[in-house]
Amino acid sequence: GYGFYLVGLPTLFGLPPLPSLVFAALAGMALLGLGAVIALRRHPETIKPEHLLALAATFLVLISPHYPWYYALAIPLLCRRLYLPLLWITLLVSGVYLESVDGLLGPYTRLIVYSAMFGGFAVLALWQWLRQAATEQDAPVG
């Protein structure tokens, strides 16, 4: 239902929510696709921290947990390798604590915080991906 941020997001634009089965299928394909990319790379016998970070970040964005402490699963992974988009999410999620009966930001706190979290995540992930692609393109072959 609307508990998943990406399911309810279209309603902000006057569109119907994403059907649960469609979301589940797309989320499953995203996780399976990412897992396949990681498993089918050149040296699948070595698991690098960035692979675990990619899976954890994708999982957290897809399920968008309601309780901020679920995002703590990213902290041990971030200790091994800094991934700015995931760090962004783990820092901004504390804003959800502002939501309460007498919350500072009012009834739309979760929407505001999640939009900032996941929007910032998307921007930072795209920036980091483009930066990495440019670095790999400039690297000498051999």
Q: Are 62 and 29 in contact (CB under 8 A)?
A: no
Whole-number Å distance between alpha carbons of 87 and 109: 20
| pLDDT at position 8 | 81
Global pTM? Answer: 0.75
| pLDDT over 70 (residue 124) | yes
If one compares 38 and 3, the residue with the highest pLDDT of the two is 38
| pLDDT at position 29 | 96
Half-sphere exposure of 53 (CA within 13 A, CB side): 21
Query: Which phi-psi region, left, alpha or beta, contains residue 14 (left: φ > 0; alpha: ψ -120 to 50)?
Result: left
| pLDDT at position 67 | 81
Mean predicted lDDT score pLDDT of the chain: 83
Whole-number Å distance between alpha carbons of 117 and 82: 17
| pLDDT at position 102 | 63
> Which two structure tokens, joined as six digits, stand for 28?
């499953």
Encode burial over 83-95: b for 16+ CB neighbours within 10 A, e otherwise.
bebbbbbbebbeb
| pLDDT over 60 (residue 2) | no
| pLDDT over 80 (residue 45) | no
pLDDT tens-digit map of 76-115: 888 988 889 999 999 988 887 776 666 566 666 777 888 8
pLDDT tens-digit map of 15-38: 898 888 999 999 999 999 999 988
